[in-house]
């Protein structure tokens, strides 16, 4: 089983994030593997252990992303690939990232590609499906269970508070939802082994990609924190009076009707 996991280096949203001029300040910020990608890594390792094969984790970024790749290797992945786009990484959008990943993967004969459902810093959930479309393979998003029997794959997909059972075939791309598994912590032996595992570094030129090929289709104008929530209001009186007051407030104060 030839398994690839798409990984992203993200801000740790449980730590303090400082904005300056609509830009997140990286100095002093903590970075981690995108939590949804940890589910993807764990699932890949479990499938490899059950069925044999190899797990390769892939990311796009600068040299700082090597730390997150080493963490994935310490968890149990076999190989890592860093596609170095340090000078351009801030200018890449979902289209750009998916294009680069698809160009890397197009001749790798991957049986299974696993990505996180979303990245916690962007939350678009676009990269995995875009990669599958570019590779012209099937994909299923937000999976919470996966069972492989030969070339047949049975999946459970999370859909708006319910579940959907889907059957597909390899090759396949899936995106991991919370609940798929419980990601392991890197063990001390795993951390020591990770130092000796192969980590390949590629440039965009190595993939015959020109800057024009990955020009972003979107632009981030500004990043800002959400407005602080105001205290709610509890309506009193008979139900019909509450309804009338609510409609009036929605019209006069909230201005949504």
Structural domains for the chain: 2-214 (3.40.50.620)
pLDDT at 226 over 90: no
User: Is it the case that residue 23 has pLDDT exceeding 70?
Assistant: no
- Residue 22: its pLDDT value, please? 63
**160 band by pLDDT with thresholds 50, 70 and 90:** confident
Mean pLDDT of 233-253: 90
Question: pTM, whole model, 2 decimals?
Answer: 0.84
Question: Nearest Cα to 183, choosing from 42, 88, 29, 31?
Answer: 42
pLDDT at 114: 98
Return the DSSP state at 13. T
Question: What is the rounded average pLDDT for all residues in the chain?
Answer: 90
Residues of the chain with pLDDT > 70: what percent?
Answer: 95
pLDDT of residue 86: 64
Closest CA to 101 of 67, 61, 140: 61
- What pLDDT sits at residue 144? 96
Position 90 confidence tier, pLDDT thresholds 50, 70, 90: low
Segments of the chain assigned E as strands:
2-6, 9-11, 19-20, 23-24, 31-33, 54-61, 79-84, 112-116, 138-149, 152-159, 162-169, 172-176, 199-203
pLDDT of residue 177: 95
Alpha-carbon gap, residue 238 to 52, rounded angstroms? 66
- Put residue 149 in one of left, alpha, beta given phi > 0 → left and psi -120 to 50 → alpha: beta
Q: Which residue has the higher pLDDT, 21 or 177?
A: 177
The more confident residue out of 22 and 14 is 14
Specify the DSSP class assigned to residue 243: H
Q: Give pLDDT tens digits for 166-183.
A: 999 999 999 999 999 999
User: Hey, how many other C-beta atoms are within 10 angstroms of the C-beta on 226?
Assistant: 5
pLDDT tens column, 31-69 = 899 999 999 999 999 999 999 999 999 999 988 999 999
The number of residues making up the chain comes to 257
How many percent of the chain have pLDDT more than 90?
Answer: 67
Per-range mean pLDDT, top range of 91-95, 147-151, 209-213, 216-220: 147-151
């Amino acid at each position: 089983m030839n398994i690839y996991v798409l990984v992203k280096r993200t801000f740790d949203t449980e730590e303090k994030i400082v904005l300056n001029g609509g830009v997140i300040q990286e100095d002093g910020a903590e970075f981690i593997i995108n939590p949804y990608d940890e589910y993807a890594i764990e699932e890949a390792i479990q499938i490899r252990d059950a069925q044999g094969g190899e797990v390769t984790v892939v990311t796009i970024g600068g040299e700082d992303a090597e730390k997150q790749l080493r963490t994935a290797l310490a968890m149990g992945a076999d190989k890592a690939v860093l596609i170095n786009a340090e000078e351009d990484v801030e200018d890449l959008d979902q289209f750009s990232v998916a294009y680069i990943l698809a160009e890397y993967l197009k001749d790798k004969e991957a049986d299974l590609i696993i990505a996180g459902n979303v990245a916690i810093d962007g939350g678009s959930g676009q990269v995995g499906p875009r990669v599958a479309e570019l590779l012209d393979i099937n994909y299923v998003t937000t999976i919470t269970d996966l069972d492989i029997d030969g070339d047949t794959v049975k999946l459970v997909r999370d859909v708006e508070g319910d579940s959907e059972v889907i059957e597909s075939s390899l090759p396949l791309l899936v995106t991991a939802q919370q609940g798929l598994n419980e990601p392991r912590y890197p063990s001390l032996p795993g951390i020591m082994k990770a130092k000796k595992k192969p980590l390949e570094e590629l440039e965009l030129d190595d993939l015959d990609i020109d800057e024009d090929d990955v020009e972003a289709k979107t632009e981030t104008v500004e990043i800002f924190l959400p407005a602080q929530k105001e205290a709610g209001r509890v309506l009193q009186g008979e139900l019909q009076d509450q309804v009338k007051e609510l409609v009036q407030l929605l019209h006069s104060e909230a201005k949504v009707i």
